[in-house]
C-alpha cells in the first residue's frame, strides 16, 4: 500500500468511508477488513446502512493519531 493513497483517501473522505477505503488506510486487505467488520473486530465502529457497511472517518483518524480510547 502506498502511504500517499492512504493520505489521499483520508483527505477526501466525508463523514464516513467505505470498508475498502478503510482497509487501504489501515494497510490491510479489503477481504480482511470485511471479515473483521462482520466479526465486530475492526478497531473502529462499523455502521450498517442497509446492506452497506461504512466506517466513521473521525474515529479512524483518532485511531491513527493514537488518541483512540
Q: What pLDDT is recorded for position 68?
A: 57
User: What is 3-65's CATH number?
Assistant: 1.10.10
Tell me the C-alpha distance between 20 and 58, whole Å: 16
All cell numbers assigned to 66 = 493514537
Residue among 58, 55, 66, 62 nearest 20 (CA)? 55
Is 56 in contact with 47 (CB distance < 8 Å)? yes
pTM of the model: 0.87
Tell me the C-alpha distance between 43 and 60, whole Å: 8
> How far is CA 5 from each of CA 24, 27, 52, 64, 69, rounded to the nearest angstrom?
7, 10, 22, 15, 26
3-56 pLDDT per residue, tens: 788 889 999 999 999 999 999 999 999 999 999 999 999 999 999 999 999 999
Amino acid at each position: 500500500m502506498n502511504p500517499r493513497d492512504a493520505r489521499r483517501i483520508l483527505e477526501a473522505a466525508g463523514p464516513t468511508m467505505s470498508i475498502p477505503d478503510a482497509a487501504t488506510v489501515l494497510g490491510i486487505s479489503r477481504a480482511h477488513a470485511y471479515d473483521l467488520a462482520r466479526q465486530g473486530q475492526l478497531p473502529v465502529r462499523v455502521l450498517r446502512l442497509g446492506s452497506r457497511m461504512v466506517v466513521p472517518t473521525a474515529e479512524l483518524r483518532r485511531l491513527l493519531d493514537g488518541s483512540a480510547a
